[in-house]
Structures are given as C-alpha cells and as structure tokens.
C-alpha cells in the first residue's frame, strides 16, 4: 500500500471523533495497517519493528502512534526525538502524532575566561528521516524542534541557559577581580523545560538565555546554539498532514 494512501487513512481515523453525529462517511477504500506500534519515548522506528520480528525483506505496512499526553524528547544536548531508521523501498511507514515530539534542547555554554571557551550547542531535530515517511499530526499533537543553548558570559560570567525542552544550563565561570585578587564566580544557567528555554545565570555578567522551541540560543560575545529541525528529511520523500502544532524547519 502506498504511503500517501495510508496517510489518508490515518488522518481519517485521527479525526473520526470530531465528525458531527449522524454524518455519514464512506469507509476509505484501503485496508488497515498490518502492524501498529505505540511509541512512548525517544526511539528508532526501524529498531522497534525489528524487535517485534520484522525481517527487513517482507513488504510491510507500519503505523507508529505517539499517544495523546505523551512527551517524547531527544536527549539534552541536541538529541533526536524520533529517528525513522532505514527501511527498504517496499515498506510503508506512517507516524501518527497525537502527543508531542520534541528535539532535545541545546546545552548552554559555560561562563568565564578559560582555555576551553565554548559556544552554546545546537538544538536537536524532532523527527530525523532516513526513508520515505508519512506523518500525521493530529489536533492536540505537536512536533517541535529543540531550542539552542544560550551563550555563557565572559569574565565573571554566568552560564548560558539550556534550550527548550531539556537543555542543560552552562556552568558559571570565575575570574580575579579587584586589587585584592578576590575570585568571583558567576552562577549556572537554568535548564530548559517544555515551557521554554532556560534563563542564563544572573550573577556577575549575565549569561544568554536558552532558545524556545525552534529558536536559537541568545548570543553574547560568544555564540548561542542554533535551533534544530522539526523534520529533517535528508532528501527523503515525506508526506505531511499537519492538524496540530508544528514548529521549526522542514528540510
């Protein structure tokens, strides 16, 4: 069964509860998916299928469902939310998102003047595509790119904030200050959360804020991390029907 045909079926199923009572609809002229797999954490879809006995050769139809009220997040530091893995051409794969799929947040960079000055790290991709894929984002569902980590501040510098949704804050740096050579330290940046990027640390020179969903981290003299992709296609064919909240680039 072709991916775009199965996509239409999945969309029909996802919207059924919204149809008016008494409204007659003709059943879609396609068969239901052979295999349905629920996804509740960051995963490689091909690996999930293999765990359930897929041999990699037989033509198959797979429907992967992210349930409502489920948050899937890539690892802090820019991890991927969902990776399709590689599939043969005769495999039909559809991802139905009723919950939330987020790229991991970029980490904020450390503050202070040290030999290992770093910029904030990039946010992660929500969906990383390695083979043709159909995606349905249902009403109430979302796919959001990770936010970039904020830049740490120079000198007596606080760390940058972590990017949406879970990026770590950078550590505060220290420096000698005044004629008495007193060591003064900035403080750590705040972690990113599903509500947005974390603030930069506030002591001494303020660190840059972490980026919100699909936004870069704040730059200072150092550079905040860039945002991830909502859907990184890698040149593969993607059929998308978005009825929810999609934030970030597709490409």
pLDDT score for 21: 39
7-58 per-position pLDDT tens digit: 545 554 544 444 333 444 555 545 434 799 999 999 999 999 999 999 998 8
Instruction: Work out the average pLDDT over 179-204.
Output: 87
pLDDT score for 57: 86
Instruction: Answer yes or no: is pLDDT of 175 > 50.
Output: yes
Instruction: Answer yes or no: is pLDDT of 228 > 50.
Output: yes
pLDDT score for 168: 97
Write the CB contacts of 191 (distance below 8 Å, at least 6 apart in sequence).
161, 162, 166, 167, 168, 169, 198
- Distance, in Å, from the CA atom of 58 to the CA atom of 33, rounded to the nearest integer, reads 14
State the residue for tokens 């039909």.
92
Give the predicted TM-score (pTM) of the model: 0.86
- Considering only residues 172 and 115, tell me which one the structure prediction assigns the higher pLDDT: 172
Instruction: Work out the average pLDDT over 67-80.
Output: 98
Q: Which one of 51-55, 141-145, 170-174 scores highest in mean pLDDT?
A: 141-145
114-138 per-position pLDDT tens digit: 656 678 999 999 999 999 999 999 9
pLDDT score for 128: 98
From residue 178, give the alpha-carbon distance in Å to each of 10, 58, 152, 172.
66, 72, 22, 19
pLDDT band of residue 226 (cuts 50, 70, 90) is: very high
pLDDT score for 15: 45
Average pLDDT value for the chain: 87
pLDDT score for 18: 40
Q: How many helices (H) and strands (E) does the chain have?
A: 2, 16
**What own/partner pairs with CB < 8 Å and gap ≥ 24 does 180-188 have?**
184/156, 185/112, 185/156, 186/111, 186/112, 186/153, 186/156, 186/157, 186/158, 186/159, 187/158, 187/159, 188/158, 188/159
pLDDT score for 16: 42
* pLDDT > 70 in the chain, percent: 81
pLDDT score for 10: 53
pLDDT score for 64: 98
């Amino acid at each position: 069964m072709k991916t775009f045909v199965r996509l239409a079926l999945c969309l029909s199923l996802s919207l059924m509860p919204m149809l008016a009572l008494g409204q007659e609809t003709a059943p879609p002229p396609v068969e239901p998916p052979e295999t349905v797999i629920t996804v509740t954490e960051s995963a490689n879809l091909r690996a999930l299928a293999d765990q359930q006995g897929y041999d990699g050769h037989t033509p198959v139809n797979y429907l992967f469902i992210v349930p409502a009220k489920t948050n899937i997040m890539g690892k802090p530091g820019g991890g991927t939310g969902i990776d399709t893995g590689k599939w043969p051409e005769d495999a039909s794969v559809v991802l139905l998102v009723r919950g939330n799929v987020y790229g991991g947040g970029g980490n904020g960079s450390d503050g202070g003047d040290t030999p290992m000055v770093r910029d904030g790290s990039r946010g992660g991709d929500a969906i990383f595509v390695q083979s043709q894929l159909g995606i349905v984002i249902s009403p109430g569902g979302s796919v959001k790119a990770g936010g970039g980590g904020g830049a740490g501040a120079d000198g007596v510098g606080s760390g940058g904030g972590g990017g949406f949704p879970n990026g770590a804050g950078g550590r505060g740096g220290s420096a000698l200050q005044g004629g008495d050579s007193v060591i003064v330290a900035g403080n750590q940046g705040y972690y990113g959360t599903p509500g947005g990027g974390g603030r930069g640390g506030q002591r001494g020179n303020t660190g840059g804020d972490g980026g919100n969903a699909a936004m870069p981290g704040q730059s200072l003299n150092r550079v905040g991390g860039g945002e991830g992709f909502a859907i990184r296609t890698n040149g593969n064919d993607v059929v998308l029907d978005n009825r929810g909240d999609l934030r970030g680039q597709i490409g």
